[in-house]
Chain A
Amino acid sequence: MVDLLKQKNKKSDTELARKISLFIDKSKIDEYEIYISNSIDNEIEIFGGEVESLSYSDSKGIGIRVFKEKKIGYSYVSSFEENKIRDCIEKAVQNSKITNEEAINGLPLKNEYRYEKGSDIEKYLYNEDFFKASIEDKIELSKNLERKAKGKDKRISGVDSLNYSDNFSEVTMLNSFGFEGTYRNTSSFLFLNIISKDKGDTSTGFSFSYERDPQKLDLEKIAEDASNKSLMLLGSKKIKSVSSDILLDSLVASQFLGVIASILTADSVQKGKSLFKDKIGEKIFSKNINIFDNGIMKEGFSSKPFDGEGVNKGNTQIFKDGILKTFLYDCYTARKDKTLSTGNAVRASYKSTPSVGVSNFYLEPYLSHSFENILKSIDEGFYVIDIIGLHSGANPITGDISVGAKGLWIKNGCFDFPVKEVTIATDILSFCKKIESVGNDLKFFPSGGFIGSPSLHIKDITISGI
């Protein structure tokens, strides 16, 4: 449908960025930064054996950040026309007039980077084979997944959603301190949510997979996971309210970890929005838990050579043996705490200003603990397969978490019966203290950054039922 090769061989936007910098009236501003993104996206939705929708886009945009007298202004534009770019610069200058003046505002300097440029992560973000799959191949692959999923079991009544999407993007940055950088990224994502019905009961189950090259997507595994999840939950019943051990599936555990990740940014800490404020050096987890934010992990989908303001990314250990070691920093928050930037300035797109966020954030697995061994160690408990309402049910500021859950009841180390319509409630600090065991099955969940956790066994959690 589109000539991807033309895009692949296109020159980077560094020339364009240099040209834009010439439009900037240096007498009106002190420092500037130009961020250009180019992105090609394909999305395929399959339903009933046919293409329900197929969409293609080739989009681009420029974000311009300026500093004048230590005040910040931002503006973006989706057009590369010269007059539009000039208007964009002017808007950024106007916006800088109303923001707060602070001595620590400004672009990052080289000596403020925590990490040296030492990795060759660029070459892992981008896979040439990505361009070998045609749109027809991708349609066929998606249809194939639907067939596989439906063929798993007679009780599978249909597919709720089956979406394939992929992206080729290129980010280019330039700033007035002489920084110039660019990187390319390819990714393909396949998501499946299926519906099972039996004896008047309905249940759903989802699974997904990410690869740099669509041909590497493991269809069999996606179909298997989604159908297993959905079938396991058929015939589930409500249970009485109880306090019990829970075993979080790795994907569920990752979602809980995401809530914790959001309050480990220096921004939330400095503004008093984090429970971890003043807790550096304290043992937060009772067990020897290690948590990393690794921005240069080869297999990480949030990996990049540099962050949203051009600072080198690296691997930051946040918790070591359960003890809080550091927060995540961008340049501004690092200056405030008189430390160095960990390369955690993130930008969702050219439309957003950089802010502090996670990259590949994960809890290190215990290599010797298999899921089966943990399950066997639980006399009575609740294996949580899926949660809903985390977005509204978790308040990272107060620490309260209350979410809807479904899964399987555990008795004497084995699955007993499926459970639905219960909530599990805790607060972040108790949750950390109550982690009893960690599995070896690390999985990543995309939410903001890329958040990963193995299965977690948690002691004594309130389950609310009938």
Chain B
Amino acid sequence: MLIDKKTAKKVLSQLLGSGGQFGEIFTQRKVSNNIRLDDNKIENASSGFEVGCGLRLIYKDSTYYAYIDSIEEAKLLESAKILRAAVNNSNINKPLALNDSYSSYNVNILKHPDGIAPEIKKELLLNVNKTARNKSENIFQVTAALSDTEEEVLIANSEGVFSKDFYVKTFLAVSIIAVKGTEVRTGYKSLAKARGFELFEEKKPQEVAAEAADMAINMLDAINAPVGILPVVIGPGFGGVIFHEACGHGLEADAIVKNASVFKDKLGCRIASEIVNAIDDSTLPYHWGSYKFDGEGSPSQRNVLIENGILKSYLLDRKASKKLSLPLTGNGRRQSYRDIPFPRMSNTFINTGSEKPELIIGSIKKGIYAKEFSGGQVDPATGDFVFGISEGYMIENGKLGSPIKGASLIGNGPEILDKIEAIGNDLDYSPGFCGKNGQSITNEVGQPTIKISAITVGGTGA
């Protein structure tokens, strides 16, 4: 137990002592391990231990926040006293009695990664290296990183929330460089789950290595990407990053409150083609973006964002929920006790459709198949976005053709959502990290194969 109810109550009373309207304690203890292989050797092994507490006080529309690297009662009380000096209101609220929060999200961790011997982790990475290098003589460099964290979180607030959570996360990433003549291409794959080392029983590290290697090898024969407007098929899994960037961020309610989103005042309106159904679900067991409680102690839940093209919900934290008078969605997340929570996605995906992926590709005479992206960026105020394609192919007469390099897709979120013409039956997910306002959190993107009727492709070819 990080802190008990008695301590929590004392600190919350101290916090509200100058008339603040909402007080919160976020305590966290975290152990982490990172091992990195590069250039055929284990280059680095690092471990960390952090413990600390973030205190939040809200008065009117202002949030006051402080954190310390300690969870000792005396230090928490001292910090609460410093923080409350920011508020001066004679109407003093008392914190409500604390009650254990309930969440339906329950998982069972079998192999705690902090307990796995470093030698076993080392072997895993050496195997990844060997597997990737054995794929082809063109494999030039392999970099692989294995990291795991185990963290305990306890959140208590003046409205009676007392939420306890324990997260275990394991992450393997493999980067490959392949070289043939003067051509240099890269490949990347990751495997990440909110679970222990048993994740490698479901999928072998060697499979991840092989997929990353294949990607780099396939791209060695890439031709320059074409330029101009073309139909584009986006592959399942990581292709969902396009929805995450082009739409998801605009649905995060802090952007709505600030009038900085193209989706403001659009609840109940059609914002996408009728075949689009999109979901944010933080309850998918063991998924990378799942949790029991969000960073404010609200239980995780499944939220329908878009149903048959109609906007159904935003992603909210407590502050936006009060401001917009909309129910909580369990999306108030934060990187650590050092950070103020705000609305974030969890596992966000376009839901499965009915079409066969090969028929979707088959329907295009000339276009592009974007299988993997290196990421993307969006300006939520305008909806303009850009995505870099890391593995892509030409589509010629309904068939996949040459791989293409140096391609990016540029467009506008709302316009693209309307141009989704077909959705496949092959929903898949892909883990990653999302950065916003300097905070990085875990989440998953996802989608089946989808077809966009027209989008600008930026390359250097003809």
- Asked if A55 contacts B340 (CB within 8 A), the reply is yes
Instruction: Out of B68, B118, B186, B459, name the residue touching A464 (CB < 8 Å).
Output: B459
User: Closest chain B residue to A3 by CB distance?
Assistant: B82
A462 interface residue per 8 A CB criterion:
yes
B331 interface residue per 8 A CB criterion:
no
> Quick one: given A78-B51, A462-B227, are A423 and B458 in contact (CB under 8 Å)?
yes
Chain B neighbourhood of A127, CB < 8 A: none
Measured in the bound complex, the distance between the Cα atoms of B63 and A53 in whole Å is 4
B200 interface residue per 8 A CB criterion:
no
- Asked if B45 contacts A466 (CB within 8 A), the reply is no
Instruction: Out of B50, B63, B118, name the residue touching A97 (CB < 8 Å).
Output: B118
A374 interface residue per 8 A CB criterion:
no
Min distance, Cβ B213 to any Cβ of chain A, angstroms:
15
- Asked if A57 contacts B47 (CB within 8 A), the reply is no
- Asked if B52 contacts A78 (CB within 8 A), the reply is yes
A56 interface residue per 8 A CB criterion:
yes
A413 interface residue per 8 A CB criterion:
no
A160 interface residue per 8 A CB criterion:
yes
Measured in the bound complex, the distance between the Cα atoms of B41 and A77 in whole Å is 26
- Asked if A422 contacts B458 (CB within 8 A), the reply is yes
Measured in the bound complex, the distance between the Cα atoms of B66 and A270 in whole Å is 43
- Asked if B258 contacts A84 (CB within 8 A), the reply is no
A10 interface residue per 8 A CB criterion:
no
Report the stretch among A18-26, A318-326, A385-393, A434-442 that lies at the interface: A385-393
Instruction: Out of A48, A203, A351, name the residue touching B382 (CB < 8 Å).
Output: A203
Min distance, Cβ B270 to any Cβ of chain A, angstroms:
19
Chain A neighbourhood of B50, CB < 8 A: 61, 77-79
Measured in the bound complex, the distance between the Cα atoms of B456 and A425 in whole Å is 13
Chain A neighbourhood of B384, CB < 8 A: 388, 404, 406, 420-421
By CB atoms of chain B within 10 A, which of A72, A157, A389, A465 has the most?
Answer: A389
B22 interface residue per 8 A CB criterion:
no
> Quick one: given A55-B64, A77-B49, A421-B410, are A464 and B260 in contact (CB under 8 Å)?
no
Measured in the bound complex, the distance between the Cα atoms of B338 and A464 in whole Å is 42
Measured in the bound complex, the distance between the Cα atoms of B119 and A120 in whole Å is 46
Chain B neighbourhood of A425, CB < 8 A: 225, 227, 406, 408, 458-460
Chain B neighbourhood of A346, CB < 8 A: none
Per-position 1/0 for B372-398, Cβ under 8 A of A: 011111110110111110100000000
Instruction: Out of B41, B49, B140, name the residue touching A88 (CB < 8 Å).
Output: B49
Min distance, Cβ B456 to any Cβ of chain A, angstroms:
6
- Asked if B64 contacts A53 (CB within 8 A), the reply is yes
- Asked if B69 contacts A272 (CB within 8 A), the reply is no
User: Closest chain B residue to A462 by CB distance?
Assistant: B460
Measured in the bound complex, the distance between the Cα atoms of B174 and A450 in whole Å is 29
> Quick one: given A59-B69, A393-B408, are A72 and B458 in contact (CB under 8 Å)?
no
- Asked if B47 contacts A95 (CB within 8 A), the reply is yes
- Asked if A204 contacts B408 (CB within 8 A), the reply is no
Q: CB within 8 Å of B: which of A39-86?
A: 47-48, 50-61, 72-79, 84
Instruction: Out of B62, B69, B385, name the residue touching A404 (CB < 8 Å).
Output: B385
User: Closest chain B residue to A158 by CB distance?
Assistant: B259
Chain B neighbourhood of A421, CB < 8 A: 384, 410-412, 456
Chain B neighbourhood of A50, CB < 8 A: 60-62
- Asked if A99 contacts B45 (CB within 8 A), the reply is yes
- Asked if A94 contacts B118 (CB within 8 A), the reply is yes
Measured in the bound complex, the distance between the Cα atoms of B49 and A77 in whole Å is 5
B121 interface residue per 8 A CB criterion:
yes
- Asked if B85 contacts A98 (CB within 8 A), the reply is no
Chain A neighbourhood of B229, CB < 8 A: 466
> Quick one: given A98-B122, A402-B407, are A54 and B86 in contact (CB under 8 Å)?
yes
Q: CB within 8 Å of B: which of A243-257?
A: none
- Asked if A391 contacts B375 (CB within 8 A), the reply is yes
- Asked if A59 contacts B338 (CB within 8 A), the reply is yes
B141 interface residue per 8 A CB criterion:
yes
Given contacts A421-B412, A425-B458, 13 further A-B contacts (CB under 8 A): A48-B61, A57-B338, A76-B46, A77-B48, A88-B49, A98-B121, A158-B258, A159-B258, A161-B258, A204-B381, A388-B384, A397-B186, A464-B456
Instruction: List the 6 shortest-distance A-B pairs measured between CB atoms, nearest first.
Output: A423-B458, A389-B386, A392-B375, A404-B386, A55-B65, A464-B458
**A/B interface sample: 29 pairs, CB < 8 A:** A1-B83, A1-B86, A48-B61, A50-B60, A50-B62, A54-B62, A55-B340, A60-B69, A61-B50, A79-B50, A94-B47, A98-B122, A158-B258, A238-B456, A273-B177, A351-B48, A388-B379, A389-B387, A392-B375, A392-B386, A392-B408, A393-B408, A404-B377, A404-B458, A421-B384, A423-B386, A462-B458, A464-B410, A464-B459
